[in-house]
Structure 1
Amino acid sequence: MTEHTDNRGQLILAGAVVFSLVLIGIVVVFSTTLFTANMASSSANAGVSDAGALESDVEQTIHEYADRVNDDEEYEEYDVDGFADDIEDEYPELLAERYAESGPTIVDIVDVNVETGSEGEEIESVTVDLVYETRSTTVDREIELEDLNE
C-alpha cells in the first residue's frame, strides 16, 4: 500500500496567513498616513480656535472688571486709575499661565487704552492690543469694548 498525503490543506492555511499579514500591513500603513495628515492639519486649526477662545476670554474678563470698577458701592477697592495698569501688568501673567497648559504659547497684552466719562469716575470704553503666539501662528488682535458704563 502506498500512503497518499494531501498537502492542499496546509497550502491553503499558509496562503491565508500570508494574505492576512499583507492585509494587516496595508491597514497599518494607511491608518498611520491618515493619522499623520490629521495631526498636521489639526495643529494649525487649533491655534486659530484657541485664539478665538482667548479673545472671548479677554473680552469677558475686561468687561466684568470694568463693571466692578464702575460699581463704586459694591466694589470700593477697585479704582479707575489702576484699571489700565492691572490689565497691562498683572492680567497677561494670568493669561500666560492659563494658556501655557495647553501647549507652547505666548500671550501678551501690548497696550491698553481707557476712556473715562467726563468726570473721570467711570470707564466708558477700553481698547486692548493682544498678541497670541504658538509654533504655527501669530495672532495680533485689537479688542474694543464700548458702552461699559451702562
Structure 2
Amino acid sequence: MVSERRERAQVILIGAIALAFIILGIVVVFNGVLYTETLSSGSASQSASNADVVEHEVEQSIGCLLTKVDESGGLVDNAEDNITVFRDAYRNSKLESTTAAVNITSINVTVGGGTTQATVTITYDSAELSYERNQTIEAGCP
C-alpha cells in the first residue's frame, strides 16, 4: 500500500511540473505576440516623423544653398543647378539609409525684394505614407 501512494504522489508531482511548463510556454508565446504587434503598429508614427524630418532637412539645406548663392552674388541659374545637385545627393542618401524615396522637383528660384526664394515640390514615398507638397523656401541658414 505504501508504495502505491508514493507512485501516485510522484505522478502528481510530474503532472504539476508539466502543467507549470505548459503555462509558462503559453505566457512566453502570448508575450511575444504582443511585442510583435506593438512593433508592427509603431512604424506608422515613425514614418510620419521621418517625413517631418525630411521636410525640415530639405528646408534648411535649400535655405543655406540660397544664402551662399546670395553671398557670392550668384545667378538664379547657379542656385537652380546647386539645388539639382543637392536633390540628387539627398535622394541617394535617403535611399541608402531608409526605405523611403524622396524627390525634389519643380525647382523655381526667384530673386526680388532683397530675398531669394525657391519654390520646390517635395515628394515623399514610403510603405506607410505617401504625399506631395509644394513648399516655398527663403534664403536663410541657421
Q: Please give the range of the TM-score, normalised by the shorter of the 2 chains.
A: 0.7 to 0.9
DSSP 3-state at the match of 2:131: strand
Q: What's the counterpart of residue 62 of structure 1? A: 62
1:102 and 1:31, CA in 2 relative to 1: closer, same or farther beyond 3 A?
farther
Corresponding residue for residue 16 of structure 1: 16
Distance 2:98 2:28 in 1: 29
Q: Deviations over 1:73-119 (max 9, x none)?
A: xxx7x5432111321x322222222222333221111212211026x
**Which segment is superposed worse, 32-41 or 56-65?**
32-41
Which structure 2 residue ranges, 5 or more long, are not aligned?
A: none
Structural RMSD (CA)? 2.4
Alignment of 1:134-149 (within 5 A): 134-146=126-138, 148=139
**Unpaired stretches in structure 1, ≥5 consecutive residues:** none
Question: Number of aligned pairs?
Answer: 138
Contact 2:107 2:118 in 1 (8 A): yes
Change (3 A) 1:113 1:15: same
8 A contact 1:80–1:123 mirrored in 2: no
Q: Percent identity?
A: 30
User: What TM-score does the superposition give when structure 2 sets the normalisation length?
Assistant: 0.80
Q: Which runs of 4+ in 1 moved over 6 A?
A: none
Structure showing greater relative contact order (alpha-carbon pairs closer than 8 Å, 6 or more residues apart): 2
TM-score, normalised to structure 1, is: 0.77
The residue that corresponds to 1:33 in the other structure is: 33
Output aligned runs, 1:1-150, within 5 Å: 4-5=2-3, 6-72=6-72, 79-87=75-83, 89-117=84-112, 123-146=115-138, 148=139
